[in-house]
Structure 1
Amino acid sequence: MADTFLSIQNVRKDFGATTVVNDFNLDVERGEFVSFLGPSGCGKTTMLRMVAGFEEPSAGRIMIGGVDVTNLKPNKRDIGMVFQAYALFPNLTVAQNIAFGLRVAGVSRAEQEARVKEMLSIIKLPDFGSRYPYQLSGGQQQRVALARALAPSPKLLLLDEPLSALDAKVRISLRDEIRAIQKRLGITTIFVTHDQEEALSMSDRIVVMYGGKAEQTGTPFEIYNRPATRFVASFVGTLNLLEGRVASSDRGAVEVDGQTIELGRPIEAEAGKPITLALRPEAVSLGETNGREQGLSGTIGDVHFLGSVIRVKVGVGRNAVMLDTFNDPASPPPVAGTPARIGFSPRDVLVLAD
């Protein structure tokens, strides 16, 4: 990248005989918001802790601002960190919590007060400086924790699942605020989460991790629409999997339960070989429509009325395809057990690698 600020190079972390992060590489641009996304145990928090300096890599190196910080202590890295637990000092007021890092750094009282006032304004709690943590809601406490991390003006902000302890409505509101603050300050940020919606909505780029490795790195659009592996495709978003066999590798013809669909592009598998195809629910419609000229016949299974959307499962032999259709008051929903035809575009069909 033209302005790489954080560079993680061939990093590995072993705990005894167990490797939890393996050959991890990533360059993060200055001011970029990058999320580490993956299930529990995939190594994302361990990787974040190595960037922070709380864990030392077994191999590889970490560069921040062109400086090798691999063996530097956390307080020498100029980072701010927000944890899942708010970790506020209960005996200090909100203002004192925010000023803590400034006081440790020897910043004058006048500068502390000015910076605290600025941070309270940024987190939209201008009149809360004299309150104590127990007088705040969970979302307010996490905002204060964010302000405390940002007050010393760190060059790098690390967020370790900071929203997971909050209820859904507060989580959505706070993630928008965090992103707005990050953009306003232009601070390089690494965000760890297992929540795909958080990663997709907040990030400039996403690193999908599995088994200690980076399965795929890309923009939210790329990760969702062009998953590189079966794991990424199944972990990010909802996915329909169709098991079939290659009828023609040149034409991209695939037989699914006795029906043939044409992908219109070559498939890297020999004729007769098993193959897995994937379709996002939003890429499927009831009936073949303009632009969705490929289709499969099946039978309506479960039908769930969700208000503005009706979620329909269509059985295609031993496969099942989920799709969403908008509720139309003038048209009743499909009836379970009736024949149906689903339509989709060949370009929306993903051929999954193991």
Structure 2
Amino acid sequence: MPIYMDRHDVSEAVTAEIVAQLHQEDLKIQHIFHCRGLTYWFDDARNTAFCLVEAPNKNAIIEMHKHAHGEVPHQIIEVDPVIVESFLGRIEDPEKSLNTDLNIINDPAFRTIMVVCIEHHAFPKYNPFLSIINVQQVCFQMIAVIKSFKGNIVKQSEDGFLISFRTITHAVLCALEIQEKFKTFKTQYHINFTELSIGLHAGIPVTEKRSIFEDTIHTAEHMGYISIAEIVISTEVQYLYESENLGKGLNRNLIHTLTPTEEKFISGIMQFIEKEWKNTELKVDDFEKSIGISKSKLYREMIRLTGKSPNVFLLHFRLRKSLQLLRKKEGNVSEIAFDSGFNSPSYYAKCFRKKYGIMPSELLLS
């Protein structure tokens, strides 16, 4: 049977004990609705509770909750238990410890999500002066750092990492350590063909979107396109970090905190590009219409935040996406060129070689 996670928005009067009692009521009658309650999380700071339930469908969960205690969930999404465990650390109730009757679980599902992007501008396999072992060593170093700060690696690829942290402080300190290790490694091994970017955002697992932590992940991913600093964080992450560390500020020379206005701007740009990047007729004028600002302001903000003009930014976005398609071998070079928003395969190949140091056909045949 599929597994679902639901979200309950509760009042400030609800306590961890009350949520534990509601969970026990679910377990008493779950068999009637062919459900199996696996575990739950409760966040008293944000007045939310989340249930992980194996069930035949969403309606069975609603009916179980309705008959058990009347607290119907506000949102339900289907989830992969492996992914849930990667983000949240468990998929079952922990062993009883705090209360043998209720087994009160004081574990909020609120997590800090880090997206680490490593963009290669050359491929060692095709360049005798570069060593692929050095690239692998960068990843090994990062994994060691991530584990030392209690980060859970949700996803790892040639392009970087998706990581979940229980605390803001661990996430921020981990980002700073990764940045330092990366700089040291580049200097030591004369690696000048990679760029590092780290985005940090925090949030809850179930929103109005279809996937777990979808909003939080997308925001952290968008931060990777900002060039003001290698580490970019949201305003909420900064606020929570300072709260956890008695007002201790962050080094602005190493970390850039997006203002709410900047967050809105980059979110608007990225949402539009992610929707339209395959459109070969896409123009800068379409950017202006989508986010409702003038051409001059669009240009200024894009240069300030990303270091690229709107046209160059779109070009590099398409090239990065095409690189993913090439690695998956989803078509020949011409098909991937057109699927990536290029009118001309020859122009695409020229741009690809300029950015990555090899022809797309070479990568496709590897």
TM over 0.5: same fold? no
- Return the structure number with greater relative CO, CA threshold 8 A, min gap 6: 1
Q: TM-score, normalised by structure 1?
A: 0.24
Structure whose CA Rg is larger: 1
